Amino acid sequence: MVKEIINASNAPAAVGPYSHAVKTNKTLYLSGQIPINKDLGTIPEGIEAQTRQVFANIQAVLDAAGYSLADIVICEVFLKDMNDFGVMNKIYAETFEPYCKDTGYPARAAVEVARLPKDCLIEIKATAIKE
């Protein structure tokens, strides 16, 4: 198995010893993305802004690997507070709809966790497969 390490210049730097993504054959495994704004180095306030930033970071990693949101087959969503699920779910649907409306959305899990890196409210990891 050949692994290709993906580090996206348009995504915030990794917060630890990991790569933004690893590609094997046609599968891209994205590390969990938290809502750090690459340009400012800050985390926006509130679940809506944080969810949008996470998707911007995911998009940056996908772009660096030559993939798109249409290639994502599963997402795992980690929430600090499950009461934020409705807002996250609305933004999630808006984000994927242009890519998945006719073909179906990716599989997904969403769980509440005790704590996330940098005390953010959300983290999302994904797996993508390119035909």
Residue 26 to residue 13: CA distance in whole angstroms: 24
* pLDDT mean across residues, the chain: 96
Provide the token pair at 41.
Answer: 């180095």
The answer, yes or no, to whether residue 123 has pLDDT greater than 90, is yes
Strands annotated E in 41-119: 72-79, 107-112
Strand ranges, E, within the chain: 3-6, 21-24, 27-33, 72-79, 107-112, 122-129
Third-level CATH fold of 3-129: 60s Ribosomal Protein L30; Chain: A; (3.30.1330)
SS3 state at 83 = helix
pLDDT confidence tier of residue 107, bands split at 50, 70 and 90? very high
Give the pTM. 0.96
Closest CA to 20 of 28, 10, 34, 8: 8
**pLDDT (mean) for 23-50:** 97
